[in-house]
Amino acid sequence: MQAFKSAQYPEAVEHFKTAVELDPNFPTARLYLATAYMQQYIPGSISPENDQMAKAAYDQFMKVLEQDPKNNLAIASVASLYLSQNKWDDAQQWFEKLTAVDPGNAEAYYSLGFVAWSKWYPAYGTARANLGMRQEDPGPIKDKKVRDELKAQYGSVIDGGLKALDKALEINPITTMPWRTRTF
């Protein structure tokens, strides 16, 4: 624990591996082992070592979930790991699992809204750029055909994201948020 608290994650991994070997059914040690691996994963960095850290974290979280399928921390961590890897569909699936076992988790619903935005916004930005619209140009996309194509492809994604954000606000009300109006 001292190595983990001091952010000495490689050392912490070794200690937690020993703890897990001594007691494979000790979920706290396995959660810390998984988290120590996850702390060493660098989002956006592409290397075999970095991919191995993500896989090691995922594998350990899955072992926790084999023993306790409703472990909120393990589910949230897998969802977060996928989110940091930009694996939007996987992240969505795991945040939905988290909301099923912890329906009062506002952060999970907020994350589902973020996933929806992450799926949609690149296509929206590309469509605007392809039409010669600058970032500072106001308003919706003026080409009806392109607007309708985006709506057909991403309308349900955005609706799901907005519902998730509404649920997050229902659970944890804060000031008015700008995401309530969408523009295609």
User: Over the range 51-79, which residues count as b (16 or more CB within 10 Å of their CB) and which as e?
Assistant: eebbebbbebbebbbeeeeebebbbbbbb
pLDDT in tens, 13-48: 999 999 999 999 999 999 999 999 999 999 989 899
Nearest to 92 by CA among 63, 127, 116, 124: 116
Name the token pair of 43.
Answer: 């989002």
pLDDT at 10: 86
* Cβ(52)–Cβ(22) below 8 Å: no
pLDDT 10s digits, 41-80: 999 898 999 999 999 999 999 999 999 999 999 999 999 9
**Residue 143 has which token pair?**
């080409």
* pTM of the predicted structure, to 2 decimals: 0.86
Residue 105 scores a pLDDT above 90 = yes
pLDDT in tens, 169-184: 999 887 545 545 444 4
Question: Around Cβ 27, how many Cβ atoms within 10 Å?
Answer: 18
